[in-house]
Amino acid sequence: MASDLWEPARFKDRVDAVLRAFVGQEAERFADVDPLLHPVAEQLEAAVADGKRLRAAFCYWGWRGVGQPDSDALVRAAASMELVHAAAVVHDDLIDDSPLRHGRPTAQVALRDCVPDRPRASADGRSLAMLVGDLLMGLAGQLFAASGLPAAYLARARPLWSALARELIAGECLEILRTGADPDTTASLKVIRYKTAKYTVEQPLLIGGALAGAAGRLRAGYTAYGLPLGEAFQLRDDLLGLFGDPEHTGKANADDVRGHRPTALLAETWRLAGPGQREQLRALLGRPDSDAADLDTVREVMCALGAPDRVEDMISVRVEEALDALHEADLPTPAAKALTDLAHAAAARLS
C-alpha cells in the first residue's frame, strides 16, 4: 500500500492475508488435538472468510491519524478487530437463531449437521458454535499481543480492550433483555450504541490512536466521529435486515420480526402507529412461524407510517455529525480523506 493513498481493496487483501494465515494455523493446531474437532476447526476459518474489514480499517486510520506511517505490525493488530467481530457474529447468530450468514449456514446450523443422529443435535450444534465464538475472542487478544508492535505501545491500548469487551457484551445483554418488550426508540438506540457502534467504529479508532500515542483532544475527536457513525452503521443494518435483498445481505430477512428484536426501525414504527396498526404488529412480531405474507404485512405497515424514511433521516443526521467532528479534528490529509470515505461506505451499503 502506498503510504498516503487509501486503497480499500488492497487494505482488505492485507487484512485477509493476516487472518487466513493466523486463523488457519490456529485451526490446524486445534484440529490436531483430535480428528473429531475438524468440523469445529473449519468453522473457525469460515468465521473470518468474509467481511468488509471496516473495523480493521478504523483501527488502522486511528493510528495513521496520529501521524504514524504505514506498518505491517499495525495491520496485524488491526486485524484482531475482525476476530472480535467474528466472535460477536457467531454469538449474535446464536442469540437470534439465524440460519444464514454470508449466504451460508451459520455455525450452529453447520455444526448441528455434524451430529445429525443425536436427539439433542440442535442443542449440541449451538453449544459447539458458542465455543467457536469464545475461541475467536481469545484468538483476537492473541493476535493483538503477537502483532509485533512494541510492548509499550500495546500497554497503552490494553484498557481499551477491556472496555471493548465489556461494552460489546453489555449491548448483547441489553438486546436480549429488551427483546419482546414494547418497542422504544431511546432504548433501541442504547442497544445499538453498545452492541455495535462502539466496537465497530469508536473503539477500533481509539485503540489505533492509543497504540500511536494519541493526545486527549484527538481521542475526543475520534469518539465524536465514531459514535454517531457506528449508530448510522447499525441503523442501516436494521433497514437491510428487513428491506434488503438476501442475495446481497447473505442473511435471512425475517430474523428481526420473528425474534421481535429491539431495532430502531421497529421502535419508530411502533411510535408512529395507531391502535389498529399496533394490534397488527402485536399479532405478527415474535412469531417463529411467520411467513412471507406476514413479513410483507409488517413492511407495508412500516412504509405506510414512513418509518423507513424516518430511519434514513436518522442515518443522515448521524453521518453529518460524524463528518462535522472529523473536520474539526485537524487530521493529516490522508487520514481525513480515508475516514470520510469510510463514513460513506459504512452508512450507504447494500450488505
Residue 24 exposed, middle or buried by CB count within 10 Å (0-12, 13-18, 19+): middle
Q: What is the CATH number of domain 8-347?
A: 1.10.600.10
The single residue listed with the C-alpha cell 427483546 is 179
pLDDT of 325: 97
> What does each C-alpha distance from 59 to 12, 75, 81, 182, 342 come to in angstroms?
13, 9, 8, 36, 12
Q: Encode pLDDT of 63-118 as tens digits.
A: 999 999 999 999 999 999 999 999 999 999 998 888 888 889 999 999 998 887 78
Residue type, 332: P
Rounded Cα distance between 296 and 304, Å, is 12
Run of H or E including 105: strand 104-105
CA 160 to chain centre: 17
Q: Encode pLDDT of 263-285 as tens digits.
A: 999 999 999 999 999 999 999 98
Exposure of 157 in the CB half-sphere (CA atoms within 13 A): 32
Listed range (246-260, 307-321, 334-348) with the worst mean pLDDT:
246-260
pTM of the model: 0.94
Q: Encode pLDDT of 27-66 as tens digits.
A: 999 999 999 999 999 999 999 999 999 999 999 999 999 9
Asked if residue 269 lies in contact with residue 186, where contact means CB atoms within 8 angstroms, the answer is no
pLDDT of 113: 83
Q: Where are the chain's structural domains?
A: 8-347
Overall average pLDDT of the 200-219 stretch: 97
- SS3 string, 22-46, reads HHHHHHHHHHCCCHHHHHHHHHHHH
Q: Is 1 helix (H, G, I), strand (E, B) or coil?
A: coil
The one-character DSSP state at 291 is -
Asked if residue 265 lies in contact with residue 311, where contact means CB atoms within 8 angstroms, the answer is yes
